[in-house]
Structures are given as C-alpha cells and as structure tokens.
C-alpha cells in the first residue's frame, strides 16, 4: 500500500463570477459535492465559499491528479445543479481554478479560512481575494 498525503487548497468560481449561490443554494451544492466526492474516492477535507465561488481542501490519492479531481467535482456538480434547477438559471463553473499546495503545519489555518468565508467576504470582495491569490502565488508571472 502506498501512503500519500498531498494537501491542496482549491478555489473555483461560477462562470463570469455570477453570484448564483445564495446561502440555501450554496448549502445544497456543498452537500451534494461532499456526497459525490465520497462516491468518487476524493478526500474532501473542507468545503465552503460565497455566492460566486467555492474553496476546498482535498488530499490527493496516489492515483489522482488535480485536473481530474477538479473535473470530477466541477463537471458533475454543474450537471447536477442544472438537472435539478438549483440555481434557477443555466449554471456553469468558470473553466479556470486555483490549486496550491498546503503544508501539514498550515492545514488548520486554511481550514479556518475556508470555514469563515461568509465573514471574510463581508470585508473583502471576491475580486480582491482573486487578485491576492494571483499575486501571492506568483500566477501573474505564468500568464505572459
């Protein structure tokens, strides 16, 4: 048996950052993503977000890639949201996502950050948070 622990903090948004995830809808979507992740053997440690984006912590298994896991989470959940008319409008996730590694020593700090998304976004907008991710992790250097 292989023993692997690769923690990732992943963030993805609705297409065009449309705020379709009201509190009740977000709770339904989060519960569905958690159940679906379990069925697909995706270890989903934490999951929360705001009206136009979600954050999660996943631990990749030895035969999983971040692109495949994100495809399974985002693709299946958007299909389910549309099939069940959860958003009341055609729903899509944006194509892009963030995924950054998290050290074992920082995992509790990221869990707290994710669980506090509602409070966090009373102070900081999604646009500000997005810009911080781009800058903090050096993604702007990769875009050109």
Picking from 34, 11, 8, the residue whose alpha carbon sits closest to that of residue 106 is: 8
pTM: 0.90
In the chain, the percentage of residues whose pLDDT exceeds 90 is: 76
pLDDT in tens, 58-110: 999 999 999 999 999 999 999 999 999 999 889 999 999 999 999 999 999 99
Each domain of the chain, given as residue ranges in start order, spans 6-142
Write out the CATH class of domain 6-142. alpha beta
What is the mean predicted confidence (pLDDT) over 101-123? 93
Q: Following CA atoms 72, 18, 130, 96 in sequence, which dihedral angle do they give, to the nearest 10 degrees?
A: 30
Can you give the pLDDT at residue 144? 45
């Amino acid at each position: 048996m292989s023993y692997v622990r690769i923690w990732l903090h992943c963030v993805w948004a609705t297409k065009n950052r449309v705020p379709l995830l009201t509190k009740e809808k977000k709770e339904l979507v989060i519960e569905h993503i958690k159940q679906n992740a379990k069925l697909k053997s995706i270890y989903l440690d934490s999951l929360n977000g705001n009206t136009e984006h979600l954050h999660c912590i996943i631990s990749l298994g030895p035969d999983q890639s971040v692109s495949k896991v994100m495809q399974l989470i985002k693709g299946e959940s958007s299909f389910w949201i549309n099939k069940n008319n959860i958003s009341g409008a055609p729903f899509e996730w944006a194509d892009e996502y963030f995924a950054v590694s998290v050290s074992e020593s920082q995992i509790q700090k990221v869990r707290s950050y994710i669980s506090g998304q509602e409070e966090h976004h009373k102070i900081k907008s999604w646009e500000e948070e997005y810009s911080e991710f781009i800058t903090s992790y050096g993604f702007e250097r990769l875009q050109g």
